[in-house]
Amino acid sequence: MKRLHVHVSVANLADSIKFYSGMFAAEPAVVKSDYAKWMLDDPSVNFAISRRGAVTGLNHLGIQVESAAELGDMQCRLGALQPDVEKEEGVACCYAKSDKYWVNDPSGIAWETFHTLDSIPVFGEPDKTAATEGSTEPCCVPLAKPRIELSADASCCVPSAKSASGNCC
């Protein structure tokens, strides 16, 4: 099963936790001094918020997969769309250790596809952040890349994802 991942940068964590807990009718599965995450089944989403120095608003979107095989399938799909998929293996970010791939959609929105390997006690790697919960250093999202234009012959790795017109997904 794949789970949609949404990460929003917020100005006030406590107010945002109260708001989203009420909206989802659920308390966060993870709460840190600078971060909270809901692992929801209805809707099926990994929804995270943080106050880590990023601009307030949408931080990135993602697809969380449950296995290395599913991550490989996603890498194939992404590689068919963009030749410069950014690969990260065993990276520590957002209180988790993960293997992941990053792309930017044509509007520049960062998309993370990832398989979580383990939870960790710090927000990110020591060389990427100050490794303290009070740090405001951002982690995770690579710098945005220029907008790409998809060619008409872009193909998906999964034949069933093509529509009747032959277009992908």
Mean pLDDT, to the nearest integer, of 44-63? 87
- Among 1-5, 91-95, 109-113, 151-155, name the one with the lowest average pLDDT: 151-155
Mean pLDDT, to the nearest integer, of 53-57? 81
Mean pLDDT, to the nearest integer, of 33-59? 89
Which residue in this structure is represented by tokens 């990135």?
60
Q: Is residue 167 part of a domain?
A: no
Q: What are phi and psi of 159, to 5 degrees?
A: -55, -35
Q: Is residue 38 part of a domain?
A: yes
| Angstrom distance (rounded) from CA 63 to CA 24 | 19
- For residue 154, give the nearest of 103, 81, 105, 84 by alpha carbon: 81
Assign 145 a pLDDT band (cuts: 50, 70, 90).
low
Q: Is residue 85 part of a domain?
A: yes
- Among 45-54, 65-74, 93-102, 108-117, name the one with the lowest average pLDDT: 45-54
Q: Is residue 166 part of a domain?
A: no
User: Which of residues 97 and 156 earns the better pLDDT score?
Assistant: 97
pLDDT at 60 over 70: yes
Assign 18 a pLDDT band (cuts: 50, 70, 90).
very high
Integer CA distances (angstroms), 119 to 26, 124, 152, in order: 21, 11, 41
Could you tell me if 86 and 142 are in contact, meaning their C-beta atoms sit under 8 angstroms apart? yes
| Angstrom distance (rounded) from CA 63 to CA 71 | 9
Q: Is residue 32 part of a domain?
A: yes
Query: The domain that contains 20 carries what CATH number?
Result: 3.10.180.10
Mean pLDDT, to the nearest integer, of 105-129? 77
pLDDT at position 165, please? 40
pLDDT at position 108, please? 83
Provide the number of structural domains found in the chain: 1
| Angstrom distance (rounded) from CA 75 to CA 106 | 17
pLDDT at position 6, please? 94
Q: Which domain holds residue 117?
A: 3-161
Q: Is residue 148 part of a domain?
A: yes
**Which residues are within 8 A (CB) of 157 and not within 5 positions of it... i.e. 6 or more apart?**
73, 76, 77, 79, 80
Assign 15 a pLDDT band (cuts: 50, 70, 90).
very high
